[in-house]
Amino acid sequence: MTKASRVVRATRAKLFGPARAAAFSLSALIAMTGLGHAAELNIYNWGEYINPAVLKKFEEETQIKVNLSTYSSNEEMLAKIQGGATGYDVVFPSVHMQDIMSKLDLLEKTDINAYEGFKNIDPAFLRAKSDPKGEFCLPYAFGTVGIVYNRKVLGKDVVGWKDLIATVKEKGLKFTLLDDMREVLAVGLILNGHKVNSTDPAELQQAADTIIAMKPDVAAFTYDTRPMVQSGDVAAGHFFVGAMVDVFANQKDLGYVIPEEGATMYQEDICVLKTAPNKDSAIKFLQFYTRPEVAALNVSQQTNGTANVPARQLTPDQIKNSKEINPTPETMQRLQIFEDLGSGVRQLDRVWTKVKTAQ
């Protein structure tokens, strides 16, 4: 007899006597004795990258308690998982990081593609090379990395990087770049007509030289772009399409543009870790997120694109009709997504150090 069984039997007899003990609710007893635990789900996600209303809805419908922890980069998340953190169930890696985690055997096969709600997912967003059928992870959100700008400070709308650089030079203004090696070097690569996944030393040096030439006009390499642009402390900033939340709030003064020269796009997927302690809860969450109304609820607060096709029609009109959030097919052709570079990333590390230390 287990310890739990002995406690159940003894408590039944003590409380009700032999005749009524059999009728005592085991679930009530477990609640009284503390032997049971409510189902939980431990989510590890990017900061401010999910609408709290989505988590609340999941909790209310399933009675599963959600615990949310956040990270600021793919690398931070991977380091924590590889460092032995075993309490997390669900993570939201970018596509190239999903491929890395797959190689490291960190992800659980969920067969989410066999779930009925998976029919809502646009197959064009099955981008992970390690998961072309969606057997492991569920496409979550996508967006672009472009330029958020203060129209009042610039005195005009800008259409791309060359336009922005010429304008700030002419008017003695400043802009910011992300403190992100791959995103910043991608700008330099794109401006020189190269692919953002290049590891060619000559192309990377050319990209670095392009960024270094910008530095006199760069106020900072930072993620704190939004408040700086809103306040007018800088004229513009290199940032994610999520800045559209600010644009919607102040359309007179603020704008966001996908540069005409081209840009990067990002996509994160929802994945279950092989070490997840609550795999059933995790898979229920993936299934829950295939529902159009759930994805639409998330997008309404996040202003990212969604791979859930029916959900797009359920979003507010300003999001549904935004070509910044939902780029046209022509614009999509100008977007590039990062891939796992393997050992080639060392080439980027070398030129990034030159960029950051250049005076």
Nearest to 121 by CA among 265, 302, 303, 312: 312
Rg (CA), the chain: 25
The answer on whether 182 is annotated among ligand-binding residues is yes
The answer on whether 181 is annotated among ligand-binding residues is yes
Q: Can you tell me the distance from the alpha carbon of 136 to that of 101, in angstroms, rounded to the nearest whole number?
A: 11
The answer on whether 61 is annotated among ligand-binding residues is no
Listed in sequence order, the residues at least 6 apart from 50 whose beta carbon sits closer than 8 Å to its beta carbon are 43, 68, 298, 302
3-class DSSP assignment, residue 143: strand
The answer on whether 97 is annotated among ligand-binding residues is no
Listed in sequence order, the residues at least 6 apart from 216 whose beta carbon sits closer than 8 Å to its beta carbon are none
The answer on whether 151 is annotated among ligand-binding residues is no
Tokens 């279950």 sit on residue: 272
Q: Give 6-51 as a DSSP string.
A: HHHHHHHHHHHHHHHHTTS-HHHHHHHHT-----EEEEEEETT-S-
Q: Can you tell me the distance from the alpha carbon of 12 to that of 182, in angstroms, rounded to the nearest whole number?
A: 63
Strand locations in the chain, DSSP E? 40-46, 65-71, 90-91, 138-150, 175-177, 218-221, 236-240, 254-257, 263-272, 335-337
* Half-sphere exposure in the Cβ direction for 78 (13 Å, CA): 15
Nearest to 141 by CA among 51, 7, 66: 51
| Cα 240 to chain centroid, rounded | 11
Listed in sequence order, the residues at least 6 apart from 179 whose beta carbon sits closer than 8 Å to its beta carbon are 220, 221, 222, 223
- The total of other beta-carbon atoms located within 10 Å of residue 210's CB is 19
Whole-angstrom CA distances from 196 to 99, 178, 181, 261 are 17, 16, 11, 13
Listed in sequence order, the residues at least 6 apart from 2 whose beta carbon sits closer than 8 Å to its beta carbon are none
**Phi and psi of 245, rounded to 5°?**
-60, -35
Could you tell me which residues are annotated as the binding site for spermidine? 48, 180-183
Could you tell me which residues are annotated as the binding site? 48, 180-183
